[in-house]
Amino acid sequence: MNFLAIDLGATSGRTILGSIVEGKLEQRELTRFPNPIIETGGHFYWDILALYHEIIQSLKKVANEGIDIESIGIDTWGVDVVMMGKDGGVLRNPYSYRDPHTEGVMEDYFQQISKEEVYEKTGIQFMPFNTLFQLSAMHSHHDSALEAASKILFIPDALIYMLTGEAVCEHTILSTSQFLNPRTGRIDPELIGVMGLDEQHFGRYVMPGEQVGRLTAEVQQMTGVGALPVVAVAGHDTASAVAAVPAENERFAYLSCGTWSLLGIETQDAIISEKSFEYNFTNEGGIEGTTRFLKNICGMWILERCRKEWTDAPADVRQISKDSMEAEAFQRFIFPDAPDFANPTSMVEAIQNYCQKTNQPVPEDYKAMARCIFESLAMRYRQILEYLKEMAPFPIERLHVIGGGSQNSHLMQMTANSLGIPVVTGPVEGTAIGNIMLQAKAAGLVKDRFEMRRMIADSIEMKTYLPQDTMAWDAAYENYLKLTN
């Protein structure tokens, strides 16, 4: 059977043909396209119609190549929403989460409902771009699209609506909003009532793996494909990626390692406590009713920004990583989540200034700076894992790493050394794989998430890193904590 995964990221999108052949998963990229943020009138927008157009083009390619596909699934980034009018049309391109209109809105919102109460209701970490605060900002600014909206749909749900005419609200993407109550599985009426909204403004609730509709006659005519089913996969890309973690049992942590790092565990129930509030952990929806209990960490973003400034460094990240091993170990650490590294004019200067103000040797070349970044990330991963161990309902025996960062062998070995547990890498392209496998589950090819994961493990190449030099890393970790507290 063949399945079409539409995987949309915050910089680019792609469509992947996934095939199940003799119990193994095969993939082929059909199309790839940019997804730029559009700046106009002092705001930042996504072009939802351009994304729809690219999906139509991929379906045309499916028809032209005579590919017989079973279903379609869409995953995207979280939090952003599209305002739909009473006639079913898009009222305006949606704001990007990078839009500045939410500045200061969290503090204003907490004047109506306290921060503690919001966390108690949702268990979601506080970030100004969460949908709750985007809608609050729009409400405060008397946004014309919000005031005229008949439906408010998250990005994957809006695209499903444009393809099928069905207005749905998929569980995992809704969980990024900060107004889903994980205990009830529904939108908390008090949190959105502040903006004059209620449940009727959103689509009907659906869970990952549920068929939600078929392509409209218009889409069929434009593309040449038939009335294909559209499956609500894990609409949030991180949820699809975690679905693809090839774990044997529940006793694992996962790390989605890319521009951002997301480190967490998969639990049956949300973890909402004084500790999770203090550490600012988040409870997002997973597949089969699970919760992704995790924390966002500033990841390879720091390295990516430095690479743009380094004039003497090789272009290949793998070579930079190899060269960094020539620098002396444990000479300096940064706190990756410090505001200093959020979006500085110069990342190189930000690192040098941080080292200077914490009385550490200032790195002068790319090798020392890269080693500092990798070691600091490995230490931060340990710090978050220590928090997870305090709150997890089971022992954490290994770390599964997915995403592009899993290909950095030096960082992965450092992570194993720092954490003191095995680190297993793969798959690199977890999001599309999770999307495809949830469609396969909907088609009856696998029965549950662990059968999905066994098939994935049989279909991909994995590598295991075992801890080394743990005594030296333990001592360096104590120094890291002193320097970054």
Residues recognised as catalytic: 237
Provide the token pair at 215: 């392509």
Residues constituting the chain:
485
Comparing C-alpha atoms, which of 448, 436, 75 is closest to residue 288? 448
CA 269 to chain centre: 20
What tokens appear for 396 in the block?
């954490």
Rounded to whole angstroms, the Cα distance separating 46 from 247 reads 35
Question: d(Cα 231, Cα 443) in Å, to the nearest integer?
Answer: 10
Token pair of 198 as six digits: 């209620």
Q: In what order do the strands lie in the sheet with 151-154?
A: 90-92, 81-84, 151-154
Strand partners, 13: 8, 33
Cis upstream peptide for 36 (omega within 30°): no
From the number of C-beta atoms within 10 Å of its C-beta (0-12, 13-18, 19+), residue 150 rates as: middle
Measured in degrees and rounded to the nearest 5, phi and psi for residue 132 equal: -55, -45
* DSSP-derived pairing of the beta strands 81-84 and 151-154: antiparallel
Torsional sign, CA 148, 8, 36, 377: positive
Half-sphere exposure of 69 (CA within 13 A, CB side): 33
